[in-house]
Structure 1
Amino acid sequence: MTTVVVSSKGQIVLPAALRRRLGLGAGTKLDLSEEPDGLRLRITRAVPESAVTDLAGLVKAPARGKPRRLDDFDPASLLARERDPES
């Protein structure tokens, strides 16, 4: 267990080895919660926002079988095909 001291400004300093091990840099946000036996610090790791278009081409699946068309996913087209399987 590591002991830290609260400064006159209410600040604490985390030991450098701990900061390195946890990947904490300047500007890292920590959540502080009061618990029955003391305080708890949790690292807040924000997930960076991405546009859907940035993800295009991220996963490539091998082509198998017949290419699909938009009609293949249209419920009305699927019902029509069930009634007339030769279309």
Structure 2
Amino acid sequence: MSTATVTSKGQITIPAAIRSDLHIGPGDRVEFVRVGDGRYEVVAATRDVTELRGIVHAGKPVSVEEMNRAIRKRASGQ
């Protein structure tokens, strides 16, 4: 287990082994994700936009009118 000390400014240095494992370096961002009471995960937020290609699968184009109809239908509870 790796540890870090919080400075008076609220900063920590992420140990080198963890930075390597997360593939993060200077200027990269990390997210703190709450996973329970008093528990957080540190997640690298450094994905290149090109890695996101293909995660959204578009269907047929929908008109604004069709979207409005679907919203009205859902709001009315049908």
TM score, norm. by length of structure 1:
0.46
CA positional deviation for 1:4: 1.1
Quote the RMSD (CA, aligned, Å).
Answer: 1.8
In 2, the alpha carbon distance for the partners of 1:45 and 1:17 equals 17
Matched-pair identity in %: 31
The structure having more radius of gyration, on CA atoms, is 1
Q: How many residues align?
A: 49
Q: After the TM superposition, list the runs of 4 or more consecutive aligned residues in structure 1 that deviate by more than 3 angstroms.
A: none
Greater relative contact order, per chain length (Cα 8 Å cut-off, separation 6+): 2
In 2, the alpha carbon distance for the partners of 1:48 and 1:38 equals 29
Q: Where does structure 2 lack aligned partners over 5 or more consecutive residues?
A: 51-78
TM score, norm. by length of structure 2:
0.50
User: 1:8–1:39: structure 2 CA closer, same or farther, 3 Å change rule?
Assistant: same
Q: Where does structure 1 lack aligned partners over 5 or more consecutive residues?
A: 50-87
User: 1:21–1:41: structure 2 CA closer, same or farther, 3 Å change rule?
Assistant: closer
Does residue 25 of the first structure (1) align with residue 25 of the second (2)?
Answer: yes
CA positional deviation for 1:18: 2.0
